[in-house]
Amino acid sequence: MRRCSFCVLLVVVGSTLAAAAEKPRPNILWITSEDNGPHLGCYGTDYATTPNLDALAERGMIYRACWSTAPVCAPARTTIISGMYPPSLGAQHMRSMTRLPYAFKMYPQYLREAGYFCTNKSKEDYNLEKPGQVWDKPNHWKNRKPGQPFFAIFNHTTSHESKLRTRPHKQVQDPAQVRVPAYHPDTPEVRQDWAQYYDRLTEMDALAGENLREIEEAGLAEDTIVFYYGDHGSGMPRNKRWTYNSGLHVPLIVYIPEKFKHLRPDDYLEDGETDRLVGFVDLAPTLLSLCGIKPPEHMQGYAFAGEYATEPQPYIYGFRDRMDERFDMVRSIRDLRFIYIRNYMPHKAYGQYIAYMFQTPTTRVWKQMFDDGKLNQAQSAFWREKPAEELYDLQEDPDEVHNLAASAEHRAILKKLRKAQQDLARDIKDVGFLPEGEIHSRSAGSTPYEMGHDSSKYPFDRIMAVAEQASSIGSSEPKFLEELMQALQDKDSAVRYWGVMGLLMRKQIGVSSSRDLLHRALEDESPYVRIAAAEALGRYGNKVDIAKAVPVLLELAPADKNGIFASMYAVNALDFLDGNAAGVVDQIRKLPTKDPKANGRMKSYVTNLIRKTLADLK
């Protein structure tokens, strides 16, 4: 039955593509850059010189409130290529890999079916398998057939996180003059990294200028719609990888020439700006709309220009899940003024150790100063455990350091944004409430998206309810604890998982109130329930608890035996045991780290975890 409905979808989309091919169509040029927020001259910065993008903004329009939806590259690009929220696809974890449902395509495939020549130079980096041919080759718009419209992406990496820490560097921007945000310590290392970031933006602007000149020299400037955007916030720590505005806010410049003014949005102004809320989930439907293709119903974003433009949405959304080797679950939402953040794993510190992130000088000096007790409250927060909820007034507090979640004056906006965040999770069937390995095991034979919409495989409401309860860590009264303990007896493993997680989050109180249940959970059929129970007992239990918990983690840690996901969960838990795992250093050192079934980009993560765990136990 499902296959037939997909066939109907294909017929509808196919007729729309055919109609689009009969109309005069614009070329589309997307210029993208990596790891940079809206720190351009046209956005008001005094630090980066960006004459080419500033000139583009004078011809077109800038978007003041654009979010990348994800604060890191692969999930952000997954959002764009699919036109869907990755948590609905099971594709939200960094360097994961899954599939789209049978009838869903990546947006260039819709364009190619409509006659467009589609090129990407040169980065893909999706958490989704490509469903057939996506891009044309060779990868430059000049290789199209005569008269054929093109869609072309040019992606520039010179502003990437890795470039901020490359030394030696020929300094242009004076480190003494840059602004250091309130959450960073003001040190020479931090100023150097920020100054180098701005220098890299100037280099990126020069590359963008070359892309624009190529179009002009070919006589195609008035036939080509141009988008420029950054792929998420700056590569500085607490920007990249974090669902603050600083991690999600990106520049977006759109130029639609006079020839295609009928495709401009209602708020379009040359040399203008708009506060319309847009996110990366909106880019694919907007692109299709500009090319005369009606966005398919499964796309979850809003077209903000073109024939099928919609009314503005009231909110934009963000998410954070596993980042490299460290697990987390965060959801965020903002309107024009406020940002709300929901931390579903508040027992984990913001600044969990991620090997790649700690290569940046700012990260290392910042953590060292925290360990030495040299930071103020705003600077220290990143290295501590998170509150369950955060609320920031972006107008009054652009650095997002004054949490208003407990403010009586802001209770109404907190409740409104909280409800909107929960509503989206229900609408898209956010599968992030499952341990990562269960996303894949439950969707065997289909896809995570289809599994998520099958209540027999994914009882979403029941799982989300206990996750909400578990992570509301302000409450530890007996009735509340009893409800968490009751969850441990549920038939669904994810409900049991969140029940154990709720007890883990309550530390000694959670363990002492449910010791017998946690010991029973050490034998649960789900490895993720066993790992969570072992972590709770190993961190907050007595000697008997620890003696029973550690062997469970050692048993599940070998990647070759248990797979990459269970292995990462188990070694993370061992790391969090601190000195309670000191007696098993030799066993940890000998753990197999390779899962032959894991994708190549994830194979280093268990190794990174084991190295850090051993370093912490010295």
Q: How many CB atoms lie within 10 A of CB 396?
A: 9
CB 252 within 8 A of CB 63: yes
CB 504 within 8 A of CB 532: yes
Length of the chain: 618
Rounded to whole angstroms, the Cα distance separating 114 from 17 reads: 5
CB 549 within 8 A of CB 537: yes
Per-residue burial over 232-247, b if 16 or more Cβ lie within 10 Å, else e, is: bbbbbbbbbbbbbbbb
**Which sign does the torsion angle of CA 175, 178, 179, 183 carry?**
negative
User: Which of the residues 42, 66, 73, 291 is marked catalytic?
Assistant: 73
Given the DSSP bridges, would you call strands 338-343 and 389-393 parallel, antiparallel or unpaired? antiparallel
Question: What DSSP character marks residue 296?
Answer: P
Smallest Cα–Cα separation from 199: which of 240, 223, 166, 227?
Answer: 166
Rounded to whole angstroms, the Cα distance separating 460 from 71 reads: 25
Q: With 0-12 CB in 10 A as exposed, 13-18 as middle and 19+ as buried, what is 5?
A: exposed
235: Cβ contacts below 8 Å, ≥ 6 apart: 34, 35, 36, 159, 160, 161, 162, 163, 164, 197, 360
Smallest Cα–Cα separation from 606: which of 558, 546, 562?
Answer: 558
Rounded to whole angstroms, the Cα distance separating 379 from 139 reads: 45
* Active-site annotation holds for 4: no
Omega prior to 168 cis, within 30 of 0: yes
Rounded to whole angstroms, the Cα distance separating 453 from 475 reads: 32
What is the helix (H) or strand (E) element at residue 453, kind and residue range? Answer: none
* CA trace torsion 99, 304, 72, 182 (10° rounding): -160
What is the helix (H) or strand (E) element at residue 246, kind and residue range? Answer: helix 245-248
* Catalytic residue list: 73
